[in-house]
Amino acid sequence: MEPDSIARTSHLERLPTELIRAILSQLSGLTALRCAILSCRLILNSFTGSSSAIATRVFLNELDSCDVRPEAIAALLASRLTKPTRSSALEFYKAHFQKRNVEVGIRLTLNEVADLSRLHSAASRLVKDFADARLQELVATIKDSHASQSQSQPLELSTVERHRIMRTLYILEIFLNVFRQTSMSDVELGQCMNDFLLNFAHWEIEQIACVQDFLFFQVSPSFNEMAAHDVYWGEFQVEPARWIGDPQLQSLYFKGLVSLESIAKAKTYDRQHELLDHGRIPHSRSRNLHRALKDFSDEMFDEQASVSNYENLRDYALKVKRPYFEDPDDGPFSIWKWAHESAFLRRSVYQRRQAKLRKWGYVMWDRARLDTLPIFWDRWQPPVFSPFGRSAPDDPVGEVGRGWWDFGDESKIVWARGKDGPGKTHNTPTSLDEAKRAILALERP
């Protein structure tokens, strides 16, 4: 190259290709990488020669910034399991849960990076949605009940809180991936789900429960809109999801967080119909996350052991088990102990008496935040709950029509076998079933 030509080139263009690739590998996230490789042909060519390695390294940098690399990689590997047996599931738990390996190294394909990036983006948005919903509800409740004592409560998450919520979302994704398809018997599946939860401390299981309950309030509006307005669902009397353990709604969870976040954001019937398998009625899965949480049991410890026996995190780790994650803040442990102080250890996970606390996301917050909340200054007085719940009907087969329906308006129905729709129907119910449909239509959000 002539001296004049060298003088006209930029400093970047004079760098060896290997050095450019090393620089690209240090970028903090895929968005920055995308911008970089689109900035000039030289960088694009350097990236193309080692695209998989660079993309993997950059995405791991992004995961490391949220301290969720082990969970994200475990979620990917769980998605690769093909109808796991209890034995293969236990091997997976041993590899990923018995010790949290923060040095996990793996080479990803570009497609795998893209899939994990979509999952991470969905998880990031769900973290914000969770925090917005739970903190605002908590603050509003405290202002109502402790007006004279309430202090200003920051709604901004700390870094540790944000990472804690995101890590729990990933753990839930791992659960859904492991059990999405399985050939295990019903009893064995229940045991295997319990084995999964046994890898976590009791307050960590409560964190999973908080996220599960939150997802119900995210996803149920779309589900209930379909139950209220879809002709096919209505013909077979699909009930709206009125309780968190609804087996049909719970079956949607196994679609994973990316799909659930999309369902939660769907505002139109067409979009809801598309995301809910184009109107296919969800199959009722009796073995699901809700049931696993309700049935959780730990037979390794004394049935009479009380939560009050454990003074602090270290004491719990010595007497019970090490938590999966060594949390630098003792807020989750402390508030779990406060909420279950008088309970046996075996009764300190997903109890109805703590439902309101889970609605506040109580085991997700740092000690500094909890110490400012007046409601936690006194002993926990659980409310009295009346039992409530219903079983979802079996899915019959058959078809009379499809489309959006509302009481008194069938104009948007596409009828099967060329049947002409009546357009506008009478507005006065003439049977018990029709009255039920009319009430259901009025209940939609």
Q: What string of DSSP letters covers 414-429? A: EEGGGPPP-SB--SS-
My answer on whether 196 and 129 are in the same domain is: yes
CB 177 within 8 A of CB 81: yes
Asked if the structure places residue 318 within a domain, the reply is no
- pLDDT value at position 432? 54
Helix (H) / strand (E) containing 401: strand 401-402
My answer on whether 87 and 169 are in the same domain is: yes
Angle of helix 257-265 versus helix 110-145 axis, rounded to 10 = 60
Cα angle 433-388-141, degrees, rounded to a multiple of 5: 115
- pLDDT value at position 425? 41
CB 351 within 8 A of CB 293: no
Could you give the CA distance from residue 295 to residue 243 in angstroms, rounded to a whole number? 17
My answer on whether 49 and 105 are in the same domain is: no
**Chain centre distance of CA 109:** 25
My answer on whether 130 and 106 are in the same domain is: yes
- pLDDT value at position 403? 65
User: DSSP label at 160?
Assistant: H
Q: Single out the residue in 168, 201, 234 at which a domain terminates.
A: 201
My answer on whether 101 and 194 are in the same domain is: yes
My answer on whether 129 and 194 are in the same domain is: yes
Asked if the structure places residue 313 within a domain, the reply is no
Asked if the structure places residue 220 within a domain, the reply is no
How many domains, the chain?
2
My answer on whether 95 and 155 are in the same domain is: yes
Asked if the structure places residue 209 within a domain, the reply is no
Question: Which residues fall within 8 angstroms of residue 161, CB to CB, at 6 or more apart?
Answer: 131, 364, 365, 366, 369
In the chain, the amino acid numbered 45 is N
- pLDDT value at position 418? 47
Q: For every one of its 445 residues, what pLDDT tens digit does the chain have, with 9 covering 90 and above?
A: 455 544 556 677 778 888 878 888 888 778 888 888 788 888 887 778 788 888 888 888 899 999 999 999 999 999 999 899 999 999 999 999 988 877 666 778 888 999 999 999 999 999 999 999 998 888 777 666 554 444 555 678 999 999 999 999 999 999 999 999 988 999 999 999 999 999 999 999 999 999 999 999 999 999 999 999 999 999 889 999 989 999 999 999 999 999 999 999 999 999 999 999 999 999 999 999 999 999 998 776 667 788 988 999 999 999 999 999 999 999 999 999 999 988 898 889 999 989 989 999 999 999 999 988 887 788 877 766 555 444 333 333 334 456 665 544 555 666 554 444 434 344 455 555 555 455 444 444 3
Asked if the structure places residue 93 within a domain, the reply is yes
Asked if the structure places residue 180 within a domain, the reply is yes
Q: Single out the residue in 65, 82, 104 at which a domain terminates.
A: 65
Torsion of CA 248, 251, 257, 262, to 10 degrees: -40
Helix (H) / strand (E) containing 109: none
Q: Single out the residue in 172, 201, 230 at which a domain terminates.
A: 201
0.75 surpassed by pTM: yes
Asked if the structure places residue 127 within a domain, the reply is yes
- pLDDT value at position 256? 97
Domain that holds residue 133: 70-201
- pLDDT value at position 445? 39
My answer on whether 59 and 82 are in the same domain is: no
- pLDDT value at position 325? 96
And the tokens for 275? 């995301």
My answer on whether 101 and 172 are in the same domain is: yes
The residues that bridge with 404 in the sheet, in sequence order, are 230
My answer on whether 114 and 129 are in the same domain is: yes
